[in-house]
Amino acid sequence: MAKEGGAERFLRAAAELGIDVEPVTYPDGTRTAADAAAAISCELSQIAKSLLVMTDTGPVLALTAGHNRLDLDTLSGRLERSVRMANADEARRVTGYAIGGTPPFGHPEPIETLIDPALLEHDIVYGAAGTPDRCFPIGSARLQAVTGAAPADFVVGHRAGPSSAE
Confidence (pLDDT) at 105: 96
Instruction: Select 6-164's CATH number: 3.40.1000.10, 1.10.3720.10, 3.40.50.720, 3.90.960.10.
Output: 3.90.960.10
What is the pTM for the complete model shown? 0.89
In degrees rounded to 5, what are phi and psi of residue 84?
A: -150, 155
pLDDT above 50 (res 136) = yes
Residue 1 confidence class, pLDDT cut points 50, 70, 90: very low
Q: What does the buried/exposed string (b/e) look like for 24-52 if buried means 16 or more CB atoms within 10 Å of the residue's CB? A: bebeeebeebebbbebbebbbbbbbbbbb
Mean pLDDT of 44-70: 97
pLDDT above 60 (res 79) = yes
All structural domains of the chain with their residue ranges: 6-164
- Is 159:118 a contact under the CB 8 Å cutoff? yes
Tens digit of pLDDT for each residue in 91-104?
Answer: 999 999 999 899 99
